[in-house]
Amino acid sequence: MRLLILGPPGAGKGTQAARIAEQLGIPAISTGDIFRANIKNETELGLQVKEILASGGYVSDEVTNAIVADRLAQADCAGGFLLDGYPRTLAQVDALDGMLEGASLDRVLELTVDEDAVVGRLLKRAETEGRSDDSEEVIRERMAIYHRETKPLSDTYRERGLLVEVDGLGEVDDVTTRILAALA
């Protein structure tokens, strides 16, 4: 299966992506995780994107598309994949279409959540994980950018008949069950 998971920051995409991918035997690919790993290892890419992530902005489409193209070309993606955090802009949608070379996505999952609840969740995560982009100011900025740049992707995929909306609020296990039911 070739899947995407969409949703605002803090919707629980990463947690659910890992579970769903494991269940389906496909790799979960998180662009946010790739960037964070590069920052941690102080690679050239990491140095390039560190400030951008800390400010809550988006890494350029050019850089992000190149990373995803590389990752999707690896052997473990031949049987499918679940992309988490990509595409995030309409230009990335076009780039992904190109990478798929005419192959279609199977589904695009959108985790829907109450945004006030999500801001609370992110602030809590800031305390436990210490992510540089989890301060309240940066969280608000990430939400604003999400609405401007990424939310429109839901319509694009809805028009293609691929969008499946799943309620992302509640227990982690319940959400996983809902997603798997929606994919069945």
- Residue 71 catalytic? no
User: What are the residue ranges of helices labelled H in 77-135?
Assistant: 90-100, 115-129
Residue 81 in the binding site for ligand ADP (CB under 6 A): no
- Residue 50 catalytic? no
Order of strands across the sheet that contains 163-167: 28-30, 81-84, 2-6, 107-112, 163-167
- Choose one: 6-14, 38-46, 154-162, 168-176; the region binding ligand ADP (CB under 6 A): 6-14
Residue 12 in the binding site for ligand ADP (CB under 6 A): no
Residue 62 tokens, joined: 């050019």
- Residue 151 catalytic? no
Separation of alpha carbons 51 and 166, rounded Å: 33
Residue 169's SS3 state is coil
- Choose one: 27-35, 37-45, 111-119, 156-164; the region binding ligand ADP (CB under 6 A): 27-35
Decide whether 92 or 176 has the Cβ nearer to ligand ADP. Answer: 92
Query: How many residues touch ligand ADP (CB under 6 A)?
Result: 20
Tokens 């496909």: give the residue.
26
Closest CA relative to residue 110, chosen from 168, 43, 67, 178: 168
Phi, psi of 76 (to 5 degrees): -70, -10
Decide whether 26 or 113 has the Cβ nearer to ligand ADP. Answer: 113
Residues of this chain, 82-121, that bind ligand ADP according to CB under 6 A: 85-86, 88, 92
Residue 138 in the binding site for ligand ADP (CB under 6 A): no
Residues that bind ligand ADP (CB under 6 A): 9-10, 13, 30-32, 35, 52-53, 56-59, 64, 85-86, 88, 92, 133, 142
